[in-house]
């Protein structure tokens, strides 16, 4: 079974602060993804990556940056956090053919 871990699991940040959410996968998957889940919107794609050094914009990239320094790690960066970015963030990995995506446990972010 695929293994995707996220850290931290919970985070409280202040408006205007910098937040980095980390994701690690041990599946040797090429592709990784960041989604956010909000009531009334389901899960929405923020950024994704096809491999180390690659980042692509998803459907709602504004206010977020991503970094993929290695096959295993994919970070989501909020340079200037805002209360509207309060959400649950999920990371996922998948193979390059677009087969099954495996999700991490999620990170709850509260921006005050």
Partner 1 sequence: GDKVKQSPSALSLQEGTNSALRCNFSIAATTVQWFLQNPRGSLINLFYLVPGTKENGRLKSAFDSKESYSTLHIRDAQLEDSGTYFCAAGGNYAQGLTFGLGTRVSVFP
C-alpha angle 61/96/99, rounded to 5°? 95
Among 8, 16, 69, 105, binds partner 1 (CB under 8 A): 105
Rounded to the nearest whole angstrom, what is the least distance from the CB of residue 38 to partner 1 in the complex? 10
Q: Under the phi-then-psi rule, with left for phi > 0, alpha for psi from -120 to 50, and beta for the rest, what region is 78?
A: beta
| Binding range to partner 1, per CB under 8 A, among 10-18, 19-27, 71-79, 102-110 | 102-110
Distance separating alpha carbons of residues 107 and 21, to the nearest angstrom: 8
Binding pattern to partner 1, positions 73-92, x when CB under 8 A? ---------------x-x--
Q: What are phi and psi of 45, to 5 degrees?
A: -80, 125
| Of 45 and 77, CB closest to partner 1 | 45
The tokens for 112 are 């005050």
Rounded to the nearest whole angstrom, what is the least distance from the CB of residue 101 to partner 1 in the complex? 6
Choose among 66, 83, 65, 61: nearest CA to 16.
83
* Chain residues that interact with partner 1, rule: CB under 8 A: 31, 33, 35, 40-45, 48, 50, 56, 58-59, 88, 90, 94-103, 105-106
């Amino acid at each position: 079974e695929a293994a995707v871990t996220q850290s931290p699991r919970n985070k409280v940040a202040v408006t205007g602060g910098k937040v980095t959410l980390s994701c690690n996968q041990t599946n040797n998957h090429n592709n990784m993804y960041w989604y956010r889940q909000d009531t009334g919107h389901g899960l929405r794609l923020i950024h994704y990556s096809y491999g180390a050094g690659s980042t692509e914009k998803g459907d709602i990239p504004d206010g977020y940056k991503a970094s993929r320094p290695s096959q295993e790690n994919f970070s989501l960066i909020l340079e200037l956090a805002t209360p509207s970015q309060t959400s649950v963030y999920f990371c996922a990995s998948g193979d390059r053919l677009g087969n099954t995506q495996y999700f991490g446990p999620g990170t709850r972010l509260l921006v005050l």
